[in-house]
Chains A and B, each alone.
Chain A
């Protein structure tokens, strides 16, 4: 018990600079509450489930180490199905509940952004940690996000594809949602700045399963590489069907395919795909190793970016509440001031008070080999 607690504490001391030294009694008393608006049912329910795992893991540590000034940190998860109609009702519920000091979510941009006016008016921080939509944080000064920013990520992807891997004729397959569309636009622009034109860009709908005709279109543009701006489930389908459609080109994917599920769903077809990710479990950084170890111990599977993001957010909440007081005003003020919060994804996260996002995440370059994500060895693909 004692040893366990010490390891936990060590983990937190390593990753969360919020625990006052010497104070290790488990939290008790009136809980500090954050509201979560996200999908537990409906088509996006898988992401809500992953959030929960990340939250729960973080809270276990935080509360074992004394919580927020001795009070336990807890969350209220209201299922919105990522449906704007329900996310606005949830928003009113949270705003009206004075015990809620901050809100996390929603998952999809239409649901988050529909609720933004309510949070803004209610002076409750809406922390859309998966909302990459460029207009999300423009909804008001209470809208903040740690979502990786496409304006930040795509130029690096372009650099990776063109400069590091040496491709000259990229074709892009992108998920035709706000996220995928912005990603594609920024990627195309960045590639052009480097001096390379995207030879084909094909959008597809989230419900798409049959990619063969799309891949044929891409094939006919004669690219030397396929860039996937996809989620892991789509990327897996594309990877499998590319082979069947007679496509032999290398594929490079953005950060969003990083998930153990990618390997499961794509099987052998995943091998050889290049990727990069802000979060990578094999990164030697202690915070990452600590998180992965505990996650695996608790859930028996590898964590993915969504649960890592959720874990990070809870850690951030605890740090904000600890340093700036567990009140709505404190959280809002803290987001502007807080510096270098330990983060599994970012290493250390600070916010740009103008964009209300976290700039410059560190990315790891990866390649899938033998059914595993591995660090890219720096060699250019042959042929």
Chain B
């Protein structure tokens, strides 16, 4: 059975079918890219997988477990992490706290929790801060500094600065750092290099490559085809909500339907 198995996934907005009966099989440790022109339904697909939206039809199995319609917080607990197309860092939180929030589901107070009693215990533990809780917090803080060094000197000196003071590229890095702190089993990256210049894109490409080498399963939406072709194990091409091609990067690149979709859509400036 596939690690992530999607069957007939469909989402309609009024008359528009944003995601139209998509099937995807995704193996553990794979890096699968989803490409397509603007408005092809890529982000909607991500929202459906990560629980931010509910499908009108179809199923999603994550590690054999049906997850369609589950809430994002449940999916996070199952090991799914994602970043957002436009970047959603916590603006008034420091870089450190942003990344620490990523580790939220790993906190022992959160992981094993009974309704009503769990929150009460958590409240008192935060107040009394017994040694066990303090130690866990210290360990996480150390780990965060480790994660941040992944981005070289970009973030390390800014650990205690609020996220709103960061450059656009740095915010994307914080988002990825936050996702890594979750120790994800599946990482969804929505255009991680948007708004980055060439050097920054190259850096990001290297980082994603390293994550892949470490065995992380990654689902990637990206516009920079160059990056997609070099990193991906497989590529899925979407247009108008439908999957129009799937295969190895080389196959997809030369698929006439893909070229047609890109050129055709470009000509009309992309659908909204």
Do A and B share a direct contact in the complex (Cβ within 8 angstroms)? Answer: no
Interface residues of B (CB under 8 A from A): none
